[in-house]
């Protein structure tokens, strides 16, 4: 855990330059616009430790799988969003001496990410080894008003230097993924073009043949006046640049404006790509930095208007929740259903920028509640589009008859994870994808999603579960062998409670959906029945048999469901009793020791208690929480959020607050010592969830909005906003509780168990009350 980020309500601030933390800051100060994103690398050359990172959503490469020993069924490749051309580069030389913060004496260093406007600013004074001293203020943003545009304003003042300034503004396409499995390069150059102040570089990905074109135009001002003298284009292999040479006198201020336009063959025909980028760049240059930034800021303001969460009286908590919301918004804009949310967003290479169950389980609710409904729907459609691939994936593992197993890791619907215990066995993800359909329909009320899309995905998944279980004569019940639950500190276990629960629930829900579609969309139902060769009677009969006869490991002494068969053979020792020097255990214990220990990485049995909250009473939840939470080490970034919510539900306010802070400031405080790899973007959806469900007690049941708010002791007030079935509500908890309906739609709402009607544009004010036990 680190504590070097200054607490601030709307900003992430690093004061003073610590080279050892540079990779962490590069992650924390990342900027993105849903289509392209980058780590907070320096514009000028930096020879210190750094991960240069620029990523384009959807532009991936199938890197040859690396394993120790091949297992039958492993995917051939691991897809990764590629590290793409670096367009921010500005090499600066004073009388030939290069500006490099790894070699200079750096003072007054400040790095600021303004979350309101996604502007990255960096200021410093550098004294070069020769004694030359300059001041720099660099600003940069990637426009969300026009996703193809980015801009840099880099101001440099000479304090004591008089001499020749050399400047090279470049695009470098000779990029290698740091996590390449076999040290290969994944890009080839296809085209380039330069003028005196423009440079264009078109690159193609190997194998996948994505074409990406970047263009930059660089303007140089000295003491406010644009200068055009001594400009020269420069080209090299996978490299284009514009160079500038000019005399500088101590006290001079120069300003470099660098405009960037980018697009890819995802959106433009390959042969028109460079022309398109040229035109787009001309547009950007015509607008100028300030106007571009204004349009961008306005769009951000609009986003914050519906998505912001306010905390009064706790700057750390305020900064934490805004940082999480900010990252979610800049990572995924939801305007292209081919895209999804990588665990690290655009902030690093780990996990390859590909899609996990994180999206459905942790991110979907945020987008449902704070963004236009289409955005959440696009997240579901992403999986619907991959249904045939999921059926292929299942067939590779021996399943038949349209059974669908969605991949653990994917970019185009094919599985590309290469650990058998995850790929082949962590199949609860299939349930999470089914649950997301339920969750979306339950929250939005959009039952129209079911007939054309939801039903066939549910059918494929249900068919998978029906084949994946087998009858055990010994137990006189259905069992599910050889799975890995959400707790990845177990592998290849039998009858994981959560996975068995997901299977049974999916079968039940699918049958409900079938009844609905049959009744409401009979024509479509008969079409779908034919299309999928669905034997309704035969298949549902088997499903019902499984639903009724599934085995769930249970301890009748403790009256708890067991995470898996044999769980009680373990030595149960509270995590609090572990030697702190051995935490986190995944960095200190050998894998076998972790596996046979009782320690749980993240909610597993409790994940079912979270999702199926309406099926368990509070006392049952309390028993399970008290058994499982003390042996949970929360070493997954996805753990604290669910535990915060559950703690709140059983009235453990302090535990809830502790768990909440841990998820909210996970990256800002580098809790897990891994922020340098990138941010835990998908777990940030969990943070939002934790906020609104822990402190707001938000829930939806039978179409009804439920709230059960509580205010942590150290806070003065909090407020958040949600879209709910056409209404837009502002929920505020302070000295009193207040809901404001910012819409023309009346809404019923249950607060602390009591029903209220909230008129169109109306308000509801209630006296504060503690959580109902």
Residues at the binding site for substrate are: 357-358, 601-602
Asked if 415 interacts with its own copies (CB under 8 A), we say no
Residue whose tokens read 């067991």? 562
User: Is 419 a residue that touches its own copies (CB under 8 A)?
Assistant: yes
Strand order through the sheet with 309-312: 309-312, 717-724, 727-733, 736-741, 763-767
Record the tokens describing residue 134, joined without a space: 């300059």
- Which of residues 594 and 646 has its CB atom nearest to its own copies in the complex? 594
The reply to whether 579 sits near its own copies by the rule CB under 8 A is no
- Residues pairing with 257 in the sheet: 153, 219
State which residue, 588 or 770, has the beta carbon closest to its own copies: 588
Interface residue with its own copies, options 109, 234, 516, 589 (CB under 8 A): 589
Does position 631 bind its own copies by CB under 8 A?
no
Q: Is 479 in the site for its own copies (CB under 8 A)?
A: yes
Rounded to the nearest whole angstrom, what is the least distance from the CB of residue 66 to its own copies in the complex? 6
* Upper half-sphere CA count for residue 510 (Cβ side, 13 Å): 30
Stretch that binds its own copies, among 88-96, 124-132, 212-220, 491-499 (CB under 8 A): 491-499
108 vs 101: CA distance, rounded Å: 12
The dihedrals phi and psi of 593, each to the nearest 5 degrees, come to: -65, -40
Residue 291 sits in the site that holds its own copies (CB under 8 A): no
Measured from the Cβ of residue 519, the count of other Cβ atoms closer than 10 Å reads: 9
Residue 595 sits in the site that holds its own copies (CB under 8 A):
yes
Considering only residues 472, 542, 618, 620, which one is a binding residue for its own copies as defined by CB under 8 A? 472
If we measure between CA atoms, which residue out of 115, 309, 305 comes closest to residue 717?
A: 309
CB of 431 to its own copies, least distance (A): 16
Contact 499, 431 (CB under 8 A): yes
The CA distances from residue 237 to 191, 192, 202, 656, in Å, are 10, 10, 12, 55
Q: Which is nearer to its own copies, 358 or 699 (CB)?
A: 358
Q: Give the residue with the Cβ less far from its own copies, 33 or 500.
A: 500
CB of 167 or CB of 560, closer to its own copies: 560
Q: Which is nearer to its own copies, 355 or 495 (CB)?
A: 495
465 contacts its own copies (rule: CB under 8 A): no
- What distance in Å separates the CA atoms of residue 336 and residue 319, rounded to the nearest whole number? 29
Residue 454 is classified by DSSP as: I
Identified binder of its own copies from the candidate list 295, 481, 547, 745, rule CB under 8 A: 481
- Closest CB to its own copies among 114 and 635? 635
Name which of 417 and 501 has its Cβ closer to its own copies: 417
Q: What is the torsion angle, in degrees rounded to the nearest 10, for the CA atoms of residue 211, residue 172, residue 342 and residue 317?
A: -140
The reply to whether 578 sits near its own copies by the rule CB under 8 A is: no
Residue 463 to residues 51, 168, 456, 471, 503, Cα–Cα distance (Å) = 44, 60, 11, 16, 10
What are residue 193's DSSP bridge partners? 200
**8 A C-beta contact, residue 605 and residue 628:** yes
Tell me: does residue 592 bind its own copies (CB under 8 A).
Answer: yes
Report how far Cα 386 is from the mean position of its chain's Cα atoms: 20
Name the residue nearer to its own copies (CB basis): 237 or 473.
Answer: 473
Q: Is 492 in the site for its own copies (CB under 8 A)?
A: yes
CA distance 238 to 667: 34
Structure tokens at 605: 């049995």
Rounded Cα distance between 569 and 69, Å, is 31
Choose one: 68-76, 446-454, 531-539, 634-642; the region binding its own copies (CB under 8 A). 68-76
Sign of the Cα pseudo-torsion (157, 10, 257, 297, in order) = negative
Binding test (CB under 8 A) with its own copies, winner from 141, 186, 293, 420: 420
Q: Does 72 sit near its own copies (CB under 8 A)?
A: yes
Among positions 131, 224, 269, 398, the unique one binding its own copies when judged by CB under 8 A: 398
Peptide bond into 228 cis (omega under 30): no
Provide the edge-to-edge strand list for the sheet that holds 163-172.
Answer: 97-98, 90-94, 163-172, 239-248, 231-236
- Is residue 531 part of the contact set for its own copies (CB under 8 A)? no
Return the active site residues.
488
The verdict on 424 binding its own copies (CB under 8 A) reads: yes
Q: Given candidates 106, 110, 266, 568, which one binds its own copies under the rule CB under 8 A?
A: 568
Half-sphere exposure of 218 (CA within 13 A, CB side): 31
Interface residue with its own copies among 116, 276, 350, 586 (CB under 8 A) is: 586
The answer to whether 464 contacts its own copies (rule: CB under 8 A) is no
> Can residue 574 be called a binding residue for its own copies (CB under 8 A)?
no
Binding of residue 571 to its own copies (CB under 8 A): yes
With contacts defined by CB under 8 A, name the span among 240-248, 413-421, 631-639, 677-685 that binds its own copies. Answer: 413-421
- Annotation: binding site: 357-358, 601-602
In Å, what is the CA distance from 496 to each residue of 119, 469, 578, 674? 46, 12, 25, 29
Shortest CB 69 distance to its own copies, Å:
5
Candidates 20, 69, 533, 576; binder of its own copies (CB under 8 A) is 69
Provide, rounded to whole angstroms, the least separation between the CB of residue 265 and its own copies: 30
Place of tokens 């120069």: 254
The Cα 238–Cα 173 span in angstroms is 5
Q: Decide if residue 635 touches its own copies (CB under 8 A).
A: no
**Which of 594, 603, 656, 751 lies at the binding interface for its own copies (CB under 8 A)?**
594
Output 203 or 409, the one with its CB closest to its own copies: 409
Q: Given the rule CB under 8 A, which of 62-70, 440-448, 697-705, 707-715 is the region that contacts its own copies?
A: 62-70
What's the closest the beta carbon of residue 46 comes to its own copies, in angstroms?
A: 28
Q: Is 418 in the site for its own copies (CB under 8 A)?
A: yes
Distance (Å, rounded) from C-alpha 565 to C-alpha 553? 6
Query: Which residues make up the interface to its own copies (CB under 8 A)?
Result: 65-69, 71-74, 78, 396-398, 418-420, 424-425, 470-475, 479, 481-482, 491-495, 555, 565-566, 568-571, 586-596
């Amino acid at each position: 855990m680190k504590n070097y980020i200054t607490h601030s309500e709307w900003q992430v601030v690093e004061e003073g330059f610590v080279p050892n933390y540079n990779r962490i800051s590069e992650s924390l100060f990342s900027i993105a616009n849903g289509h392209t994103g980058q780590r907070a690398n320096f514009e000028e050359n930096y020879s210190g430790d750094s991960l240069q990172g620029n990523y384009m959503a959807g532009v991936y490469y199938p890197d040859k799988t690396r394993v120790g020993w091949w297992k039958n069924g492993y995917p051939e490749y691991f897809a990764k969003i590629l590290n793409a051309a670096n367009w921010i580069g500005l090499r600066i030389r004073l009388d030939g001496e290069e500006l490099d913060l790894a070699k200079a004496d750096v003072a007054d260093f400040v790095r600021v990410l303004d979350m309101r406007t996604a502007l990255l600013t960096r200021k410093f004074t550098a004294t070069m080894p020769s004694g030359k001293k300059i001041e720099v203020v660099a600003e940069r943003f990637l426009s969300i008003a026009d996703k193809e545009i980015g801009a840099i304003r880099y101001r440099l003042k000479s304090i004591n230097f008089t001499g020749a300034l050399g400047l090279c503004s470049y695009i470098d396409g000779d990029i290698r993924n740091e996590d390449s499995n076999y040290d290969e390069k994944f890009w080839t150059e296809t085209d380039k073009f330069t003028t005196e102040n423009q440079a264009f570089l078109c690159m193609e990905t190997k194998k996948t043949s994505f074409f990406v074109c970047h263009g930059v135009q660089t303007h140089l001002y000295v003491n406010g006046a644009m200068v055009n003298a001594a400009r020269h284009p420069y080209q090299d292999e996978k490299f284009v640049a514009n160079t500038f040479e000019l005399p500088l006198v101590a006290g001079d201020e120069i300003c470099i404006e660098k405009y960037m336009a980018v697009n890819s063959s995802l959106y433009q025909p390959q042969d028109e790509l460079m022309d398109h980028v040229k035109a787009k760049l001309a547009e950007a240059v015509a607008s100028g930095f300030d106007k571009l930034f204004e349009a961008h800021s306005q769009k951000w303001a609009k986003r914050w208007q519906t998505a912001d969460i306010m905390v009064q009286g706790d700057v750390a908590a305020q900064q934490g929740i805004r940082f999480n919301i900010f990252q979610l918004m800049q990572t995924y804009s939801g305007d292209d259903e081919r895209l999804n949310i990588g665990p690290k967003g655009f902030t690093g290479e780990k996990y390859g920028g590909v899609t996990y169950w994180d999206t459905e389980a942790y991110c979907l609710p945020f987008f449902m509640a704070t963004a236009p409904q289409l955005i959440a729907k696009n997240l579901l459609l992403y999986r619907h589009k991959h249904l045939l691939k999921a059926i292929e994936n299942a067939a590779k593992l021996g399943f038949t008859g349209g059974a669908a197993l969605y991949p653990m890791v994917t970019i185009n619907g094919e599985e590309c994870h290469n650990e058998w215990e995850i790929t082949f066995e962590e199949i609860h993800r299939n349930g999470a994808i089914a649950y997301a359909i339920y969750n979306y329909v339950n929250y939005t009320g959009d039952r129209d999603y079911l007939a054309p899309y939801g039903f066939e995905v549910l059918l494929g998944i249900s068919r998978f579960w029906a084949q994946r279980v087998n009858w055990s004569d010994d137990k006189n019940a259905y069992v599910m062998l050889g799975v890995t639950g959400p707790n990845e500190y177990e592998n290849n276990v039998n009858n994981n409670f959560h996975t068995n629960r997901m299977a049974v629930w999916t079968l039940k829900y699918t049958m409900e959906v079938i009844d609905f579609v049959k009744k409401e969309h009979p024509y479509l139902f008969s079409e779908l029945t034919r299309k999928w060769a669905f034997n309704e009677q035969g298949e549902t009969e088997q499903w019902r048999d499984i639903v009724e006869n599934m085995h769930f490991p249970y301890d009748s002494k403790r009256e708890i469901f067991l995470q898996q068969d044999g769980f009680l053979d373990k030595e149960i020792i509270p995590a609090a009793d572990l030697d702190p020097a051995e935490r986190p255990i995944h960095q200190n214990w050998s894998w076998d020791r972790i596996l046979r220990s009782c320690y749980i990485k993240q909610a597993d049995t409790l994940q079912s208690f979270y999702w199926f909250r309406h099926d368990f009473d509070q006392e049952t939840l309390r028993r399970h929480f008290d058994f499982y939470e003390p042996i949970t080490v929360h070493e997954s970034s996805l753990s604290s959020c669910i535990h915060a919510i559950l703690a709140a539900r059983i009235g453990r306010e302090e535990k809830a607050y502790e768990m909440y802070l841990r998820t909210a400031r996970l990256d800002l405080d580098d809790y897990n010592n891994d922020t340098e790899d990138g941010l835990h973007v998908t777990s940030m959806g969990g943070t939002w969830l934790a906020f609104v469900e822990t402190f707001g007690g938000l829930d939806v049941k039978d179409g009804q909005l439920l709230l059960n708010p509580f205010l942590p002791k150290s806070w003065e007030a909090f407020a958040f906003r949600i879209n709910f079935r056409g209404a837009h509500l502002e929920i505020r908890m302070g000295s009193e509780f207040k809901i404001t309906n910012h819409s023309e739609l009346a809404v019923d709402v249950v607060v602390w168990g009591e029903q209220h009607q909230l008129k169109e544009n109306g308000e509801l004010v209630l006296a504060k009350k503690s959580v109902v036990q």
